Amino acid sequence: MFRRITKLAALFAVSAFPLLAATPASAGVDAQCGQYICVMTAHHNRFVQDITVRTKDGLPGTLRAYWGNFHSPKVNAASHRWAVGYEQAQAKLVCGGLERDGRSIEDGICVTI
């Protein structure tokens, strides 16, 4: 039993290390959910590293994210992750939206950075 716990702890440490090494010490991860979607972002000050938009019900739809001058392409998915990787000093919100059957279901769900 002790040997199994030791192996699990070692496996966890090895798998978690790349995640910790890739994230700056003062990086923030914030999320905001609406009725249908959740918008999550990883950022360091105004340097947005990632935007993730997902539907809460898991059903497909057309997702998008926008932030300052960044407007993601629309994708048909239940969740999607966009890598951004640049800073916009004047942008304070990361937002997302969902369309289904050509109708805007939810838009303007924003995370403050």
* pTM as predicted: 0.73
- CATH number of the domain where residue 44 is located: 2.60.40
Q: Do the domain assignments include residue 76?
A: yes
pLDDT computed for residue 101 by the predictor:
94
pLDDT computed for residue 26 by the predictor:
64
Pairwise CA distance, residues 21 & 91, whole Å? 27
Torsion of CA 94, 56, 29, 12, to 10 degrees: -150
Give, for all 113 residues of the chain, the pLDDT tens digit: 444 444 444 444 444 444 444 555 567 899 999 999 999 999 998 899 999 999 999 999 999 999 999 999 999 999 999 999 989 888 899 999 999 999 999 999 999 98
Total domains in the fold of the chain = 1
Q: Do the domain assignments include residue 8?
A: no
Q: Do the domain assignments include residue 20?
A: no
Domain membership of residue 32 as a residue range: 26-112
